[in-house]
Amino acid sequence: MRLLTESDIDALSIGAAILGTGGGGSPYLGQLRCRELLRSGARIPLLSLDEIADDALIASTGGIGAPIVSIEKLEEGNEGLRALRAVEEYCGRPIDALIAGEIGGGNALAPIITAATAGLGVVDGDGMGRAFPEMQMTTFSIYGHHSTPAAIADERGNVVVFGHVASELWFEKLARATVVQMGGTATGVESPMPGSYVKRVAVPGTVSQAIALGTLVLDANRRHVSAIPLICERENGVHLMDGKIVDLRRHLRGGFSVGEIALEGIDGHAGTRASIVFQNEYLSFERGGDVEVSVPDLIVLLDVDTGHAISTDILRYGQRVAVLALPCHPLLRTPEALAVVGPGAFGLGEVTFRPLPRRSPP
């Protein structure tokens, strides 16, 4: 067990934005809230999978909705705690620790905030190893666990409890409809799971991974060197191109931020044209009529100068970006997983997933 520090939180917010592949919501406000909780005396234990008991009850938590909405729709602060208490009341027993549904963006900080206010620990892992836009797209759901009972809370004090739904897809539909009525974003606590199950299906070590990535970027910025090759080296990634955004289409649909960007190569990639499709997160990278990278592998857009992530909610015409591809965890590459998070699950029916080479990061 380690206790998270302010420097950990600062690095985590940067690394989680990278692993968010454009989604997960902005980590900035969550970063500020975590800092204040630590300065107020909160102790936030980070627990490895080996440190949780088999019979512990672990709940997944995170934000739900369109990241672009969360920029202007501020949280009240205790949404996660209210949702947690509602799930505990339904289960008739306390939750022992929290885990991120996804490590991407602000959702990496959501369990830390709720755990700090509830006096719980946070598990070093998550259900995606990245970010995905829909709630059934976690390894917890993919490998057989039901997300309910679950609760969704908003900033007005509303808490909606889902005791039982017919399927994980129905939970996504009903929860998404609820969030739309709540204004486009809310906080959820779901999937109370035994520790033995979490140990088997969670993507391990992703909080530590995000902290290490953020530390790498901060160190590169201090030394005035490019973080981009260092990220690729650490994550066994590929630097696809440097480009400028020359066209951007983005709109809200069904609680998601969806669209496409067109890129024109710059510097050593001049003359190259490419496009990226997104649904909260970047889904596919196409160049020369060939989809070179697609979900579930990670497509990451970074500021070409700083190496900081550029999410789909802050895309703008003329931005200069570096496009990276990082391999996903093997838990997302099984036939069961690809049926839920592969190209076909996002309507990219003509796209065949071609996995990037993968090795364990140092």
At residue 252, the pLDDT reads: 72
Instruction: Using pLDDT thresholds of 50, 70 and 90, give the confidence band for residue 362.
Output: very low
Range of the domain at 181: 2-204
The reply to whether the predicted model has a pTM over 0.85 is yes
251 in the same domain as 183: no
Q: From CA 271, how far away is CA 157, in angstroms rounded?
A: 53
The string of pLDDT tens digits covering residues 113-148 is 999 999 999 999 999 999 998 889 999 999 999 999
235 in the same domain as 199: no
Residue 90 near residue 126 (C-beta atoms within 8 A): no
For the chain, how many structural domains are there in total?
2
pLDDT tens digits along 303-350: 999 999 999 988 999 999 999 999 999 999 999 999 999 999 999 978
**Which residue did the predictor score with more confidence, 63 or 284?**
284
Q: Looking at residue 360, what is its pLDDT?
A: 46
> Could you tell me if 38 and 149 lie in one domain?
yes
Q: Tokens 């990082």 sit at which residue?
A: 326
* Residue 64 pLDDT exceeds 90: no
Task: Judge whether residue 90 has pLDDT over 50.
Answer: yes
45: domain CATH number? 3.40.1610.10
